[in-house]
Structure 1
Amino acid sequence: MSSQHASSLSHLKLSTLIRSYLEEDCPGNFDIGGYTVGSDIKTAHLYLKSSGVLAGVPFVNAVFKELECTVKWMTSENLLPETKKYIPQTAIEGKSYTYTERPILLATITGPANSLLFGERTALNILSRCSGVSTVSNRYAELAKDWSGTIAGTRKTTPGFRLIEKYGLLVSNVDTHRLDLSHMVMLKDNHIWSHGSITLAIKKARSGCGFTSKIEVECRNLEEGLEAGEAGADVIMLDNYIGCEVENDAREIKEMYPGVIIEVSGGITEESLEEYLQPSVDVISVGKLTQGYECLDFSLKIQRE
């Protein structure tokens, strides 16, 4: 199975990243567990054990490609395999039914037994986290499906794991936002305080980035937003706003500077999201997508002959 988003990944970066993860798990010269099982060709089954969105397929493929194993997927990314089914509990509850979890077979992986076990934990770590990001992102995307704007992530990612977490956003059709500091200039409060004013900070930033990069400015109130618009900001972030206050300030800024993009960020949860889904807001960025996600449960089982 090929992933819809796999082509967005650099093969060189992917290979380098996966090798670093494998070397982290076995930095020495010996894998005694692998020596114990040997190198006979075996087949392992990859199971999903909790409900959620599957994401991270290209990374798992890359793990086992490095170890000369082959992966055959039974399902696609961005699907929600249902791990729960009704089981009759007639002996206890008469004719009522209850939920029970059942593992879902996602893929078969074939290769030397020691290679399968070498890659097991790295692959499962990647899948559980990438799928966790995609699962929570999917919930936000569903809540905002009737809104014309964009739900986005942030740069609040796990060091060394950003590419995978950003990929998890993509799978659930959530915007990645900036991938790193070179993607768009963002002037936050510390930048502005260090340089003296919003206007001066934007002028200095523009002299460095030229016309090829957008400049975004973090603003705490309408006055700062209007100053940023006047100074030529491309994106104005209304930060830590109360939901009921967003639309008035966003609309006023848009009336003065129609071409500006309005982003809202800061402490937005699933429960409060609806308050920010306003017509004058273009982007809502949510740190919880890559900070507050719950990992999904996967397992890999070598099949007995």
Structure 2
Amino acid sequence: MRGDICMKALIERFIEEDLSGYIEFLPEIEARAVVTVRENGVISGISDAIAVFEYFGVSARTWFEDGNRITKGDLILEAEGDARGILKAERLSLNILGRMSGIATLTARFVERAGGVKIAGTRKTTPGFRIFEKRAIIAGGGDPHRFNLADMVMIKENHISLFGLERAIELGKQASFTKKVEVEVSAPEDAVRAAELGADVIMFDNMPPDKIRETMAMLEARGLRDHILFEASGGITLENITEYAESGVDIISVGAITHHAPWLDFSLKIV
């Protein structure tokens, strides 16, 4: 219930942003509109788009769910009601569909090339829109990773610069028994040391695939591979994702699935 209230509040904030200063000039008239997609992809944000129409008293229906594949020309939803409500809802609903479906589509492309290795998002998201972008990642078959700083103890380069690796991990483990401790490393010896100090997750930051493969072999030889998750991150693209997936890691986190995702193109027409 609280989640529904939160989503409604966010949508109301988006509506206020879009309609602030709106001038009412059309008379009331009943109309029907259809939303279609102009390119292939994976849909996300359909329930949110419908919620925008319903906010304005317009009934809307769809034949799709988040995560469904869609094809150029597909009729995504129909809306019926006061034409003024349809036009008020038009831009915001299409923006939500376009942004979320673009992320879901790009995520799905990474997932397809990862060969079973989990694809995860990052916190490189649009301020205020993170919850929608994380849901879009899920729709595309990915893992949302951390939603905020409290979801996991993440020890990054700056933490290590401040306290040193051993002390940073010690402090991280004191935070809460419920939180996993993830350590970012950029050298093989740091990965070995983090594993010896009890890290739950080790992230290879901007390490090339061949170096990760060597490090994984080193960890295996020392009996440090089991019970630790290994993650690759930094500079990962559709062109090199296969190499990273074959390096032995369990997770590949990709900021590009949010900050480089092109929007999917949707159109609304009054019929």
TM-score by length of 1: 0.84
Q: 1:67 to 1:247 in 2, by over 3 A?
A: same
Is the 8 Å Cα contact of residues 38 and 112 (structure 1) preserved in structure 2? no
Q: Equivalences for 1:1-305 in 2 at 5 Å?
A: 10-28=3-21, 31-32=22-23, 35-83=24-72, 103-144=73-114, 146-147=115-116, 149-195=117-163, 197-208=164-175, 210-254=176-220, 255-278=223-246, 280-303=248-271
Is the 8 Å Cα contact of residues 56 and 85 (structure 2) preserved in structure 1? yes
Superposed CA deviations along residues 74-133 of structure 1, whole A, max 9, x for unmatched, are: 3333233322xxxxxxxxxxxxxxxxxxx3211101222111111111111111010000
Unpaired segments of 5 or more residues in structure 1? 1-6, 84-102
Residue 12 of structure 1 aligns with an amino acid whose one-letter code is I
Is the 8 Å Cα contact of residues 39 and 113 (structure 1) preserved in structure 2? yes
Superposed CA deviations along residues 223-259 of structure 1, whole A, max 9, x for unmatched, are: 1112211222110001101112212212333532521
Is the 8 Å Cα contact of residues 37 and 75 (structure 2) preserved in structure 1? yes
Report how far residue 62 of structure 1 moved: 1.9
Aligned residues with identical type, % of pairs: 36
Report how far residue 265 of structure 1 moved: 0.5
> SS of 2:149's equivalent?
coil
Is the 8 Å Cα contact of residues 45 and 109 (structure 1) preserved in structure 2? yes
In the comparison of the two structures, how many residue pairs are matched? 269
Q: 1:211 to 1:80 in 2, by over 3 A?
A: same
Is the 8 Å Cα contact of residues 181 and 200 (structure 2) preserved in structure 1? yes
Regions of 4+ moved over 6 Å: none
Is the 8 Å Cα contact of residues 55 and 131 (structure 1) preserved in structure 2? yes
TM-score by length of 2: 0.94
> SS of 2:203's equivalent?
strand
Is the 8 Å Cα contact of residues 107 and 140 (structure 2) preserved in structure 1? yes
> SS of 2:8's equivalent?
helix
Residue 199 of structure 2 aligns with an amino acid whose one-letter code is A
C-alpha RMSD of the superposition: 1.7
